[in-house]
Structure 1
Amino acid sequence: MLDIRWIRENPQALVDALVKRGQPSEVARSTVDDLVARDEARRTHVSRLQEAQERRNAASKEIGNAMRNKDMALAERLKEEVGEIKAFIQGGEAEERRLDKELDDALAVIPNIPLDDVPVGEDERGNVELRKVGQPRERANWTREHFEIGEALGMMDFERAAKLSGARFTVLRSQLARLERALGQFMLDLHTTEHGYTEVQPPLLVRDEVLFGTNQLPKFEEDLFFTPHAGGRLGLIPTSEVPLTNLVREEILSHEQLPLRFTALTPCFRSEAGSAGRDTRGMLRQHQFYKVELVSITDQESLAEHERMTECAEAVLKKLELPFRTVVLCTGDMGFGARKTHDIEVWLPGQNTYREISSCSVCGDFQARRMDARYRARDEKGTRFVHTLNGSGVAVGRALIAVMENYQDEDGGISIPTVLRPYMGGLEKIEAK
């Protein structure tokens, strides 16, 4: 959530940012004007309430003086005035709450401000490549996509998954199931032993205010799954960014505690409401999948941490010896809560293209304001909002796809990357039937 004081002082900067993100200029101007008007109405009302409270206090003292002077007529008139003021204040406090909520609701759907060095563009065509690592091998005529490989091995079953749960689910068996598990364990071990992240096993069901804190609510409610709970509901996490980031909600940290770095391997659940017809074959876009997440909580110097997090995610693919490229997303392709995002795209020979496997974003204090997460800066009396960052370290299902396609053999088998063999009991190859 953005700071309304900053918006009040920099309305044109927000208009420009919304235009960069793809809003028509007249819509952006109307949005900002509406926010400023709501803020002005709220501030005017609060000022009137404060004046009324001051007059009530003064009138109460005047009643005492009138009583001491035995001026009962004046005392009665003042009592009537105080009664009217109290009624106004009582109704005014309810009105203040209404105005606060309306302003907060309006702010909750405003996206974050892109950093100045983020390229301006409408969609993924405006993304800028930062680097390529590894050389994709030539696509042989026997190269297949992951679902063709998995089904031929008898270890990837979409038909039975559909009987159990419907579309966009998969049943993995035998050595492919173990390979997916090996990938997750390898990533966790790498991030905890070499990259300094603390492993967390968080809840998979969270409250609405937690989803609001990491900006899934209210804007992306249709992308979530919910289950009834204790007269309300809980949401299944779409990513462990949600519980990991909210570990510091409503807390004040010391500067010495920062940065905090968390990682988790969890199932993730997404309705994929906005992706009808996309990636309907295979495991690329599922309702349920595993992901290793990286989350950092820092002070307000967070850009270096963004580069570090990207390098940690890239290290996974380097150790797996998978070709990839890293791009910086343009303003029109960037997520709602991000100020800057690096996408890591792994090479998939079956599709003969790069596909996203990790997205690392720096959010500034956007999420911290929604969570009320702060820290005490050194040599300062007050507090500041923390900065939050999140990234995939990486998506396990997509890593499985990448390993299957890049390590496939002409005979239909899959060679096991060297770094994964200890997790596979020394197995060097998944053999075709």
Structure 2
Amino acid sequence: MLQVQEIRDNKAHYITALAKRGIDASEVFEQVLQADEDRRTTQLQLDETLAQSNTFSKEIGKLFQSGETQKANLLKEKTGQLKETSKVLGDQLNTASEKLQQLLYTIPNIPNTLVPAGTDENDNEEVFIEGEIPVLDTEALPHWELAKKYDLIDFELGVKITGAGFPVYKGKGARLQRALIAYFLDKNTAAGYTEYQVPHLVNEASGFGTGQLPDKEGQMYHVGVDDLYLIPTAEVPVTNLFRGDLLAHTELPIMCTGYTPCFRREAGSYGAHVRGLNRLHQFDKVEIVRIEHPDSSYAALDGMVEHVKGILRDLKLPYRILRLCGGDLGFTSALTYDFEVFSTAQDRWLEISSVSNFETFQANRLKLRFKDKEGKNNLVHTLNGSALALPRVLAGILENYQTPTGIKIPEVLVPYCGFDTID
């Protein structure tokens, strides 16, 4: 969430930057500044009324002590009127503050200068590509056919139990899934990330803290009786571990990782691009989260990108990195790099990770600050990334490692799986 003072100081710059997202923020900025002016004016009136009421209260006691009862009663009457006025002003202040807050919730983060202008994924910039795309047999199958052939994943059974988008992993498919989770966590902890096991449901405050609410409310599963939300990513509970904290500068950076299932009520569509593991309502993901000093957050982002590169190199999967354009940038992000793995069987790129810097956008919502060397409180920068999302990584492994006689297992996963071939 943007800060009002930042909008006031940088309005013209922010309007230009948000144009990269295809947004004309002129009107909403004017509404924000007017709402803030109304709030400040009301706050001043309330403060003056309360101060006058306190002054009268002190004078009333002195007047009674000196026997000036008539004057004291007159001031008591005025004090009563001031209390009524302060109550009205307090209600007006709450209304003005809520209006300002709701306006600020509608404004996305300011894109970094590196973010290219554009309207959708077609305008994203390819900034890196690596890995040899394998040449498959002419009889090569997409992963949903391989899953059926080798009895690895049962999509129909998932429909029976829950519905479309909730697959059941079986046998070596389940073991490969578990191996990927363990491997990703080991890679992350070896790189200095502390592992957390976190709740899979969060309260409304957590959703607002990381920006899923109100922006993505319709995409989250909501448990109405308890007013809780199933998490769309571990980013939400892990980042909220530090909500409301005031950190010492010596505590930074904070590096966290965690595995969770993820739940998303994404509207489904039809076609090969969403078949099988390509789009799910429940899937597994290992996340990395960093809490950083503002001066080092972009170096940290580069480090996260290199970390994910290392994982994909170990898996020997062909991949590329995209810098997202303004129109494809997430609501809370200032800069995002997407990783995509190439599926030879589907002849297309599959997104498997997003690595983002949110700068102070989440921290302002979370009230997450640090005390610098001079003793001043400042907002931290928050970052997160998938390391990695499992479904499309698994799809890429099944499709790219298939042979006429079976599916090979990437060498780094064999110790975790206990087998080197699926046949």
Q: Is the 8 A contact 1:329 1:340 kept in 2?
A: yes
Quote the residue 1:253 is aligned against. Answer: 247
Matched residue SS, 1:248: coil
Quote the residue 1:224 is aligned against. Answer: 220
Mapped to 2, the partners of 1:158 and 1:69 lie a distance apart of: 88
Quote the residue 2:91 is aligned against. Answer: 94
Deviation, 1:75, is 3.1
Quote the residue 1:430 is aligned against. Answer: 422
Q: Does 1:214 align with 2:206?
A: no
Q: Is the 8 A contact 1:139 1:352 kept in 2?
A: no
Mapped to 2, the partners of 1:55 and 1:228 lie a distance apart of: 46
Alignment of 1:17-416 (within 5 A): 17-23=17-23, 25=24, 28-64=25-61, 66-67=63-64, 70-193=67-190, 195-228=191-224, 232-273=226-267, 275-277=268-270, 279-301=273-295, 302-378=297-373, 380-411=374-405, 413-416=406-409
Please, which runs of 5 or more residues in structure 2 have no aligned partner? none
Provide the aligned length of Structure 1 versus Structure 2: 421
Q: Provide Cα deviations, 1:136-185, integer angstroms capped at 9, x if missing partner.
A: 12354222211111111222221221111111121221111111111111
Please, which runs of 5 or more residues in structure 1 have no aligned partner? none
Q: Provide Cα deviations, 1:2-39, integer angstroms capped at 9, x if missing partner.
A: 1011112222233223322112x3xx222111111111
Mapped to 2, the partners of 1:228 and 1:120 lie a distance apart of: 39
Matched residue SS, 1:268: strand
Report the TM-score when normalising by structure 1: 0.93
Mapped to 1, the partners of 2:39 and 2:85 lie a distance apart of: 16
Code of the residue aligned with 1:298 in structure 2: it is E
Deviation, 1:315, is 1.3
Q: Is the 8 A contact 1:326 1:345 kept in 2?
A: yes
Q: Does 1:420 align with 2:416?
A: no
Deviation, 1:61, is 4.0
Mapped to 1, the partners of 2:197 and 2:36 lie a distance apart of: 41
Code of the residue aligned with 1:347 in structure 2: it is F
Mapped to 2, the partners of 1:297 and 1:246 lie a distance apart of: 11
Mapped to 1, the partners of 2:388 and 2:66 lie a distance apart of: 79
Mapped to 2, the partners of 1:155 and 1:19 lie a distance apart of: 46
- Percent identity reads 40
Mapped to 2, the partners of 1:78 and 1:228 lie a distance apart of: 51
Q: Provide Cα deviations, 1:301-344, integer angstroms capped at 9, x if missing partner.
A: 21111111111112111100001011111111110100000111
Mapped to 2, the partners of 1:400 and 1:346 lie a distance apart of: 10
Q: Is the 8 A contact 1:14 1:32 kept in 2?
A: no
Mapped to 1, the partners of 2:72 and 2:417 lie a distance apart of: 88
Code of the residue aligned with 1:420 in structure 2: it is L
Q: RMSD value over aligned CA atoms? A: 1.6
Q: Provide Cα deviations, 1:189-237, integer angstroms capped at 9, x if missing partner.
A: 11112x11111111111111111111111111111112245xx321111
